[in-house]
């Protein structure tokens, strides 16, 4: 996992910025980029201001054994969801956008992602259980499509996210990326 690059979550938009054909489209696309950067930096002060007062997240396939919508609804649930991600380390994501479609009030992204999960989070998300290979960490990879809609105040109304083709594999602690947050490691990082 030494090739893990969380910054791709926002830098992979660079190849798609030309698709914004009007100032309004560019403004909304830059908002998505800013929001995405805040997510991987675990900076809720970047994420939350991009959202409307009552964001609605519709998430399908985010949990291992639930097919229906599990997304948070309303600013309090959304804030709690992001806070939990920051506190449990599940914000450590690399998301490469391979397709971006831009309209005035709608943006759609498609791509792949890898997410490093602690064993406890992987279990809570129901991607591992007692029959899974034991490991302190796991890498979840999948394809994802996200629909963004903006309101008249240029705020995102939330996300409609579809996560497909999940694969989860054990990850040894020594294989974690060098910049993986120390607070989620089970042992101190070896000095080089």
Mean pLDDT of the chain: 94
What pLDDT shows up at residue 72?
97
The 10s digit of each residue's pLDDT in 65-93 is 888 999 999 999 999 999 999 999 999 99
The share of the chain scoring above pLDDT 90, in percent, equals 90
- What are the structure tokens assigned to 180, written together? 């993986």
42 found inside a domain: yes
What pLDDT shows up at residue 186?
84
125 found inside a domain: yes
- C-alpha torsion sign, points 70, 76, 79, 80: negative
3 found inside a domain: no
**CA 60 from centre of chain:** 13
148 found inside a domain: yes
pTM, 2 dp: 0.92
Q: Structural domain tally of the chain?
A: 1
- What are the structure tokens assigned to 72, written together? 């948070």
What pLDDT shows up at residue 136?
94
Residue holding tokens 């309101």? 151
What pLDDT shows up at residue 189?
57
Residue holding tokens 């397709």? 99
What pLDDT shows up at residue 67?
87
189 found inside a domain: no
- Nearest one of 55, 69, 161, 71 to 107, comparing CA atoms: 161
The 10s digit of each residue's pLDDT in 88-104 is 999 999 999 999 999 99
CATH number for the domain including 111? 3.10.450.50
The 10s digit of each residue's pLDDT in 129-178 is 999 999 999 999 999 999 999 999 999 999 999 999 999 999 999 999 99
Q: In whole angstroms, what is the distance from residue 136 CA to residue 94 CA?
A: 19
190 found inside a domain: no
At 50 the three-state DSSP class reads helix
Query: Per mean pLDDT, which range of 12-16, 34-38, 86-90 is the poorest?
Result: 86-90
Contact of 189 with 182, CB cutoff 8 Å:
yes
147 found inside a domain: yes
Domain with 81 in it: 8-184
What pLDDT shows up at residue 2?
83
1 found inside a domain: no
Contact of 57 with 71, CB cutoff 8 Å:
yes
At 149 the three-state DSSP class reads strand
């Amino acid at each position: 996992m030494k090739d893990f690059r969380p910054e791709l979550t926002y830098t992979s938009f660079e190849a798609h910025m030309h698709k914004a054909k009007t100032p309004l489209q560019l403004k909304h696309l830059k908002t998505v980029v800013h929001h995405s950067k805040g997510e991987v930096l675990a900076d809720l002060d970047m994420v939350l201001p991009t959202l409307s007062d009552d964001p609605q997240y519709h998430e399908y396939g985010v949990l291992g054994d639930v097919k229906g919508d599990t997304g948070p609804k309303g600013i309090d649930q959304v804030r709690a969801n992001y806070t939990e991600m920051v506190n449990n380390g599940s914000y450590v994501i690399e998301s490469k956008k391979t397709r971006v479609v831009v309209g005035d009030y709608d943006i759609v992204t498609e791509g792949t992602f890898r997410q490093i999960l602690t064993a406890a989070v992987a279990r809570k998300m129901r991607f591992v259980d007692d029959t899974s290979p034991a490991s302190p960490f796991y890498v979840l990879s999948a394809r994802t499509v996200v629909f963004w809609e903006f309101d008249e105040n240029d705020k995102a109304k939330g996300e409609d996210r579809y996560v497909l083709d999940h694969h989860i594999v054990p990850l040894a602690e020594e294989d974690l990326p060098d910049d993986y947050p120390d607070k989620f490691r089970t042992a101190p990082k070896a000095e080089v």
